[in-house]
Amino acid sequence: MEKLEKIDARIIDLKWRALPLVERLLINKDKIKELKYREKTRKSELKWYNQSCYTSIIMIALLNIYLLFNQLVSTEFRLFAFAVLIILLAQKLELWLRFQYLNEVHFLKKIRKNIDD
């Protein structure tokens, strides 16, 4: 029974971490059990966001490379483009972590099902 309680607590914690920041601010952690959790929908959304973020990163990286060799552009604009690239990389990392949390929830549910059987 202790194993099942630990697995359930971990699943709830991972579901909480997989939520976007805005939802985490609006919803209490205790209400995760009551919340209808659409795992497959969230995974597909995260995949799409991850791929679109990847394309944005490539475009901004190419812009940064161009700005690096262009002498007519001011330093402030170069720093701005570099800051945008860093923000996009941080967003990609956060999306990847949320996707990994959902994968772990799926894995823990399978383990829990095997223990129940």
Radius of gyration of the chain (CA): 20
pLDDT for the residue numbered 15: 84
pLDDT on residue 90: 92
pLDDT score for 88 = 92
Mean pLDDT of the chain: 85
Answer whether residue 1 shows pLDDT above 80: no
Mean pLDDT of 6-21: 85
The pLDDT confidence band at residue 19, using thresholds 50, 70 and 90, is confident
Q: Is residue 59 scored above 90 in pLDDT?
A: yes
Token look-up 């579901």 returns 15
What is the SS3 assignment for 35? Answer: coil
- Kindly indicate the confidence band of residue 58, based on its pLDDT and cuts at 50, 70 and 90: very high
pLDDT in tens, 81-116: 999 999 999 989 988 998 898 889 889 888 888 888
